């Protein structure tokens, strides 16, 4: 056991230092009133949590985060699985390797650089997207300044950059399915769709659950796109919960209330994860 803990100690130390300590610190700070600008500090018990119930901005912020997370997670699952199926069934190993690199590459692009590029691409005045839409007779909207299109635009941008990670998850899951299952199904006369729904989907259901949880949690904590691309606008249409925490804690210098919002975010993510795990008992199949 000593040897096991010694090998695990680097990971445990990093977890405690960068996750455990901040979590405890956030919870403690949520019971305080700490103004970073003036330095005033004091204990206020549950006052910050009482403010959550009277915050008029919070419902819109939570709705934006939920809509963004649901849309992003859904697209990640669909696009990631389709890309993984295409790569996994490719006959050429060169095509498999090239496609994998191409799909994963955006994931390693700096989020800040990608956000600045997105502002240029979607610019209503000189952006290439609206320029080529006009070529085919379509009057493109002001993607990032229109309350209707701003949040969907961020969903597409986020999918472009991060869907490669979901693709890798599904690719690993697909490659773990024994080929003998497909060969037996072909002998029994099962077609492509039958093999997909009877073998592929059930076999990768644990992978799908993992991808669903990771995609939703990551999307719910989105910050870079609203911060750089839209600054939470227009009219709060893209203000997410993490961006709102940033506004309260580091622009309004209200650390205590920002910490309470952080605790609320943790509780919501934990609740959604538990719901996903409980619901997964009906459709996730583990190989025995």
Tell me the angle at which helices 47-54 and 255-279 cross, rounded to the nearest 10 degrees: 70
142 within some domain = yes
Q: Which two tokens stand for residue 242?
A: 């993490």
93 within some domain = yes
Q: Exposed, middle or buried, 164 (CB in 10 Å: 0-12/13-18/19+)?
A: buried
- Taking the chain (288 residues) in consecutive chunks of 10 residues, what is each chunk's mean pLDDT? 93 93 92 82 89 93 95 94 90 83 87 84 87 88 90 91 91 90 88 89 93 94 90 91 94 91 95 94 80
DSSP 116-184: HHHHHHT-TTT-HHHHHHHHTT-----TTT-TTTHHHHHHHHHHHHHHHHHHHHHHHHHHTS-HHHHHH
32 within some domain = no
87 within some domain = yes
14 within some domain = no
Q: How many other C-beta atoms lie within 10 A of the C-beta of residue 149?
A: 17
Quote the pLDDT of residue 113.
Answer: 85
CATH number, position 143: 1.10.3720.10
Q: Give the global pTM.
A: 0.89
* Residue 41 parent element (H or E): strand 41-43
Quote the pLDDT of residue 140.
Answer: 85
102 within some domain = yes
Q: Which two tokens stand for residue 48?
A: 């910050």
**Cβ contacts of residue 62 below 8 Å, gap of 6+?**
241, 268
Quote the pLDDT of residue 288.
Answer: 58
* Residue 231 parent element (H or E): none
What residues make up the domain containing 205?
55-282
Whole-Å CA distances, 15 to 24, 142, 218, 260: 12, 43, 18, 22
45 within some domain = no
10 within some domain = no
Domains in the chain: how many in total?
Answer: 1
> How far apart are alpha carbons 229 and 248 in whole angstroms?
19
Quote the pLDDT of residue 246.
Answer: 95
């Amino acid at each position: 056991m000593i040897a096991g803990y010694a090998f695990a100690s680097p990971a445990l130390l990093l977890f405690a230092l960068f996750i455990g300590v901040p979590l405890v610190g956030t919870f403690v700070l949520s019971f305080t009133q700490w103004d970073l600008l003036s330095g005033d500090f004091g204990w206020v018990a549950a006052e910050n949590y009482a403010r959550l119930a009277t915050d008029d901005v919070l419902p819109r912020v939570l709705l934006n985060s939920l809509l963004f997370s649901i849309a992003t997670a859904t697209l990640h699952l669909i696009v990631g699985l389709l890309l993984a199926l295409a790569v996994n069934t490719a006959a050429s190993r060169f095509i498999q390797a090239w496609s994998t690199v191409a799909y994963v590459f955006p994931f390693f692009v700096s989020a800040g650089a990608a956000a600045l590029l997105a502002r240029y691409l979607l610019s209503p005045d000189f952006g290439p997207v609206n320029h080529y839409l006009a070529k085919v007779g379509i009057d493109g909207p002001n993607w990032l300044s229109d309350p209707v299109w701003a949040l969907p635009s961020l969903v597409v941008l986020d999918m472009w950059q991060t869907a490669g990670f979901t693709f890798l998850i599904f690719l690993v899951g697909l490659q773990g399915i024994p080929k003998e299952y497909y060969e037996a199904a072909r002998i029994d006369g099962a077609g492509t769709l039958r093999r997909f729904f009877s073998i592929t989907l059930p076999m990768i259901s644990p992978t799908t659950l993992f991808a669903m949880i990771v995609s939703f949690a990551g999307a719910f904590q989105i910050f870079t796109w609203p911060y750089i691309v839209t600054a939470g606008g227009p009219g709060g249409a893209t203000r997410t919960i993490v961006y709102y925490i940033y506004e309260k804690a580091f622009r309004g210098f209200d650390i205590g209330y920002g910490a309470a919002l952080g605790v609320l975010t943790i509780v919501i993510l934990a609740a959604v994860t538990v719901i996903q795990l409980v619901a997964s008992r009906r459709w996730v199949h583990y190989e025995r």
